[in-house]
Structure 1
Amino acid sequence: MEGYNITSISYVENATVYPREATILAAVCACIFSAVGVIGNLVTTVALLMHPKLRGHVTTMFVLSLCVSDLLFCGINLPLTASRYIRQRWTLGETMCQLFAFVFYGNEAVSLLSMVAITVNRYTLIAYYDMYSQIYTTTKIWIQLLLIWLVSFGFMVPPLLGIWGQLGLDPQTFSCTILPKDSRSPKKYLFMFGFALPCVVIIVSYSCIYWRVRESKRKLEGRSKLSGQTAKEKEEDSRLTTLMLTIFLCFLACFLPLMVMNVAYDRITYPWLHIIASILAWASSVINPLIYAATNRQYRAAYANLLKFCKNNAVTKRTTWGSRTVGQSSNSPNYGEKRNPLNDNPTKL
């Protein structure tokens, strides 16, 4: 560890000089996003699991995958990022640096592939409603989720092992990222197949959904059913599709600037722009709970249900505690002895 820190000092002369104001802003944003993101994604996860209707919804499983990914990013990556910007160097050693990059890019892939799964789910529901229940069984859903996480982090195994590129500290930006090895780096290929291709799939899928719904409305105008769905179900699914499209557009707006700069512009010519692009990328893991609460009635109901449960639980605890202090409640451990005088002379068998 000590040798690693000595090595890190040797590249200070070649490192990018970020304005101190920029690094302070980055550190403060990382701390705020970490706290807000952990709370928001944790609350969302619990709220969805506790809501009976949403818990059984297929889309909820993929949304939970997205929440867990964002929760890991906010709980692991952002605190370490804040430390890096405050110190303006990486001080936690080479192994932690590699793990940081592994979790960062793996989580990003999980988020994007979860959105792909959500989009395909939405399209299947609208285009193949009669086959939907056969395609999305419980077993098949879990297989999809398992594949999302295995593929996402599987892409990062070659650079982690040094087979194709490597994970380590970039001397230019004191950041832990994907580095070339023997003049070979998978960064641009990962960008193409791990970011650009899923984005294209999502955009095409939502375009197909839009045209499918538009054609269906035109043909079935005035009827109460659409492909076997009731009008209420159709309305709810339309809202949910709009919600997921909003999440994807926000993710794209947050991550695209950083991805373009990291891949297309390896040299840091404008440090402020890179700091702002990084802050936008961090924000993507925080805004999803806000989008859920602001745009979808069912998700607001889930949050309200959790809040109601917490309030009722707190009231129950206060009532129980008050009763125990008096000693006359049925919750009191001595209550049975006071109500049954025969306990003074127990029967011997």
Structure 2
Amino acid sequence: MIMKATDMEGSGNGDYLKLSNVYLKVWQLGLVGDWTHGQRLCVAAALVRHVAVGSSLASIQLITLNRYTSVVKPRSYARIFSPGSCLLLASVCWVLPAGLLLPAALGVPGASLGWDKRLQSCTVLPSPVYRPVIYLGSALLPLLLFAACYPRLFLALRHSRRRLTSHIGTLQSIAMQPSTSAPDLSREPMQPARSNSICAGRGRERQLLGVLGAILCSFCICYLPLLISVGLNQTPPLLVHGLFYAAPCINPLVYVAMSRDYRRAYAALFCCGGGDGGNSNEG
């Protein structure tokens, strides 16, 4: 599907979106009323499920950095998010949570995976240090990244739009100055194009802020309640648990709903190549 949207091939989005195909397969593991398949399978189910969710959290942060670099530091974007580095970063999204959960999977003292009767799930078992660090760290790191990147993204987009508006206003004031020479009719067709460029810039700004806002809301609604409650050794409601493990499946839908490029790519996929993949680089 990603290959049908030619303008998305080099943006780094494809690598991140492909990860969501795996999440749908594993998010429900261990969500049963009781576990009757043995301790080893319970540990394996908890490990796979937590690695998938951890990878989703890492992907959200990586996408935020991708957007931040493309807007605030565009000259460094091609170097930082080259095809090779995108593959490496996508791999890190899986290796990092697996490495953090490896001590619990191996049963290192103070960290363990197993059946939690309070949560009715195979998960990280309560501990004085390990579980609070894992869960609260997973909640705080994205929040710190959002707090650092989103304001600068907004200011950069706002500054760019104001600079473009000021530049076009200056050109229009020069064009309206009285002149004894004959009017240059060749400049007239450029006025609609200038207005269109302002509208397009505002549209891109609104869309980018909308996507980032949707990601932030998804994180706060789906991830944050459970991460904080479990990190503090509280028992969250079943709905909070369900939202947490469904979040990796919700994130791709957010991108499809908010990004024209993804909608065109899906349309091209499900309509037997009827779409052209789009020519814009929005979202």
- Aligned equivalents of 1:55 and 1:166: distance in 2? 40
**Distance apart, 1:248 and its partner CA:** 3.3
> 233, 237, 242: which one pairs with 2:210?
242
Question: Which residue in the other structure is 1:201 paired with?
Answer: 145
Q: Helix, strand or coil: the match of 2:237?
A: helix
- Residue number among 34, 55, 65 corresponding to 2:9 in the alignment: 55
Q: Distance in 2 between the 1:76 and 1:233 partners? A: 40
By how many angstroms is 1:191 displaced? 2.0
**Mind listing any 5+ residue stretches in structure 2 that lack a counterpart?**
169-196, 276-283
Number of the residue aligned with 1:161: 106
Could you tell me how far apart the structure 1 residues matched to 2:74 and 2:86 are? 16
Give 1:254 deviation, angstroms. 1.1
Residue in 2 that maps onto 1:277:
240
Deviations 1:122-162 (A, max 9, x none): 11111111222222212222221222211121110011112
Determine which structure has more spread, i.e. the larger CA radius of gyration: 1
CA contact (8 A) 1:109 1:195 kept: no
Does 2:117 match 1:171? yes
Question: Partner letter of residue 231 of structure 2?
Answer: V
- Displacement of 1:104 after TM fit? 2.0
Secondary structure in 2 matching 1:220:
helix
Q: Say yes or no: does 1:192 pair with 2:136.
A: yes
Contact between 1:115 and 1:248, CA under 8 Å: does it hold in 2? no
- Partner residue in 1 for 2:259: 296
Structure 1 counterpart of 2:278: none
Assess, with a 3 A threshold, how the Cα gap between structure 1 residues 236 and 302 changes in structure 2: closer, same or farther: farther
Measured in 2, the distance between the counterparts of 1:245 and 1:172 equals 33
TM-score (norm: length of structure 1): 0.63
For residues 159 and 201 of structure 2, the distance between their equivalents in structure 1, rounded to whole angstroms, comes to 18
Tell me the secondary structure at the aligned position of residue 90 of structure 1.
coil
1:212 aligns with 156
1:165–1:179 Cα contact (<8 Å) kept: yes
Aligned to 1:78: 28
Partner of 1:260: 228
Residue of structure 1 aligned with 2:63, choices 118, 121, 129: 118
SS at match of 2:165: coil
Please give the secondary structure, in 2, of the residue aligned with 1:249: helix
Deviations for 1:200-249, whole angstroms, at most 9, x for unmatched residues? 2123211210122223323332447xxxxx87588547624532431232
The 8 Å contact of residues 77 and 100 in structure 1, kept in 2 or not, is answered as no
Change (3 A) 1:149 1:238: farther
The partner residue of 2:76 within 123, 126, 131 is 131
Following superposition, which runs of at least 4 residues in structure 1 exceed 6 angstroms of deviation? Answer: none
> What are the Cα deviations for residues 59-107 of structure 1, in whole angstroms up to 9, with x where unaligned?
3322333x13xx33x32341542xx1xxx21112111111121122212
AA in 2 matched with 1:178: V
The amino acid that maps onto 2:117 is P
Structure 2 vs 1, CA of residues 134 and 293 (structure 1 numbering), >3 Å: closer, same or farther? closer
Q: 1:309 aligns with which of 268, 272, 280?
A: 272
Does structure 2 conserve the Cα–Cα contact (< 8 Å) formed by 1:115 and 1:202?
no
Residue identity matched to 1:211: L
In structure 1, runs of 5+ residues without a counterpart are: 1-46, 225-229, 313-349
CA change 1:77–1:112 in 2 (3 A) is closer
2 CA distance for matches of 1:213 and 1:299? 22
Distance 1:237 1:131, change over 3 A: farther
Q: CA deviation at 1:175?
A: 1.8
Partner of 1:100 in structure 2? 45
- Alpha-carbon distance change, 282 to 57 in structure 1, aligned in 2, over 3 angstroms: same
Aligned residues: percent identity? 25
Structure number with the higher helix fraction is 1
